[in-house]
Amino acid sequence: MRPETSRQFVRWSSHDGLATVTLDRPPLNPLSHQLKAELSDCIEEIAADAGIRCMILYGAGGRAFSVGADIKEFPEITARRLGRQHAMQEHALYNRIDFFPVPTIAAIEGHCLGGGLELALACDLRVASETSRLALPEVKLGVFPAGGGTERLPRLIGESRARELIYTGEPVDAREAWRLGLVNRVVPAGQALAAAQELGHTIAERSGLTLRTVKAVMDRGQCMDLMEAQQVSVDAISELFQSEAVQEGVRAFLEKRSAKPKA
């Protein structure tokens, strides 16, 4: 177990291979430049810890995972013509999470809007409470979700449905989000973090080498055509079969016991 590491707006701790990262900028966790910088620092610390096999992102307070970009920073972005720089910084952070070396889960309570939803979309899995509302409302401000929403959402739920959500900016509730495939699980109000941690601990019981390998294979495969992706898979499984992770997994199966997780 790692003691909590805390910055002004972001903190994280780990237990049994599961890291939990908490955004804490009351009351709605807007993604200011400082919060995103702190989040970037935290996830780099987690990536450097070989004992961590899964990571959860969570918004403190219960009212919002995050309502997205801090609109109070927009006038400066406009005045200084920093739109491109702002978008590139967001892409760098969300891409780092998307291609993070171990599986990631967003635990969503309350509002998950704009850049907050783009942050959740960068995670592998999403667990939402039944009171959650999810949206990409940027069009209502005259902009659009330029932090990966226009790319990740269509790949996740299909082009037509993604276009409707982006063009209208209207929210969906947790049940509709589940029906669309936007979230993996819907749980009672107040239980998103606990449910995500239960799922995360299940994942963290697996071999760290195997999780990192299959995550990399799937991440790379999404950017390739079918035949190229299959070759990546063949190369990776060939190497994995020589590892202690596979040998331990096979021994555990034959001995009718649980495999011991390896970093």
Q: Which residues are known catalytic residues? A: 118, 138
Taking phi first (over 0 means left), then psi (-120 to 50 degrees means alpha), and beta for anything else, what does residue 114 get? left
- 180: which residues sit within 8 A by CB, 6+ positions away? 157, 161, 172
Helix (H, G, I), strand (E, B) or coil at 14: strand
Place of tokens 């994280």: 12
* Whole-number Å distance between alpha carbons of 197 and 192: 9
User: C-alpha distances in angstroms, 9 versus 112, 184, 223, 230, 236?
Assistant: 17, 27, 33, 41, 38
Nearest residue to 22 (alpha-carbon basis) of 1, 49, 37, 4: 4
Three-state DSSP at 168 gives helix
